[in-house]
Amino acid sequence: MSLFAPLKARPLARGEGTQRDDRLFLVACDDTYAPKQYFSFLRLSRVQIHVVATDDTKSAAVYVLERLKQFSIEEDDERWMVLDTDHCIEPNHYPGFIKALVEARQAGIKIALSRPCFELWLLLHHVDESAVTDLRNAAETESRLREVLGEYNKCNLKPEHYPLASIASAIARAERLDAAVPGGDRPEGNTTRVYQLLKAILASIPVAQRPDELRLVA
């Protein structure tokens, strides 16, 4: 039986406010905890965001890709890999990492990299991009996020820490940061391209049906 069958049992219940032509975004991550919780906070009309279950014993990009390729999609749906680069850009991991990215793009799968980690995206909900360029690794990024929020547990994200209005700010900050960081798939400085996924999600929603806080995101 296809692993995708339960997801494509659309139409969904009308009482949930969903429609058969809602866009589906399938997201696979190398982080077991934070991204799945974060995307569950996004309650947006006209889209469904499904985060594929992560196996924390197989978090390399090639395994993330394998999990995502188990699912088929309809014409207007999208598949995304959300990946950290904190270990992947090291010499002994980099060739396999790049191979997975090439195969993903050949399969029409889009990629949102973060250097060093997904927590940089979370941090940009609260601070300007100039405040994250000095972070050297995932541990420092999580520590800075803990300082800003007063707490941080990647196994227990708080939705009130990431309100819709802060998402618009994070997108703008991440886009400016990414524009200043060269290196492509091996970014030479801190960046997060999760904003590209958020912009794709929002682009699939008619502006009039977006929450007020996100209507101005282009």
Q: Kindly report, residue by residue over 58-77, the tens digit of the pLDDT.
A: 778 999 999 999 888 888 89
Q: Does a structural domain hold residue 127? A: yes
90: tokens are 């090291």
Q: Does a structural domain hold residue 161? A: yes
119: tokens are 């927590």
Q: Is 183 left (phi over 0), alpha (psi -120 to 50) or beta?
A: left
Q: Does a structural domain hold residue 8? A: no
User: For position 19, what pLDDT does the model report?
Assistant: 60
| Residues 6 or more apart whose Cβ sits within 8 Å of residue 8 | 74
What pLDDT digit, counting tens, does each position of 81-97 carry? 999 988 776 677 788 89
The pTM of this model reads 0.89
Closest alpha carbon to 109 in 139, 79, 132: 79
**Residue ranges making up the domain that contains 78:** 22-213
Q: Is 146 left (phi over 0), alpha (psi -120 to 50) or beta?
A: alpha
Predicted confidence band at 32 (pLDDT cuts at 50, 70, 90)? confident
What pLDDT digit, counting tens, does each position of 34-53 carry? 999 999 999 899 999 999 98
Taking the alpha carbons at both ends of the chain, their separation in whole angstroms is 40
Length of the chain: 218
Q: Does a structural domain hold residue 176? A: yes
Q: Does a structural domain hold residue 99? A: yes
User: For position 89, what pLDDT does the model report?
Assistant: 66
Whether 12 has a pLDDT exceeding 60, the answer reads no
**Residue 188 one-letter amino acid:** E
User: For position 35, what pLDDT does the model report?
Assistant: 95
Whether 204 has a pLDDT exceeding 60, the answer reads yes
Q: Does a structural domain hold residue 51? A: yes
Closest alpha carbon to 186 in 64, 104, 68, 95: 95
User: For position 58, what pLDDT does the model report?
Assistant: 76
Neighbours of 111 (CB within 10 A): 20
Cα–Cα dist 78/200, whole Å:
9
Structural domains in the chain (count): 1
Cα–Cα dist 98/142, whole Å:
26
| Residues 6 or more apart whose Cβ sits within 8 Å of residue 98 | 185
Neighbours of 9 (CB within 10 A): 8
Predicted confidence band at 114 (pLDDT cuts at 50, 70, 90)? very high
| Residues 6 or more apart whose Cβ sits within 8 Å of residue 212 | none
Cα–Cα dist 34/122, whole Å:
9
- At residue 112, the 3 state secondary structure works out as strand
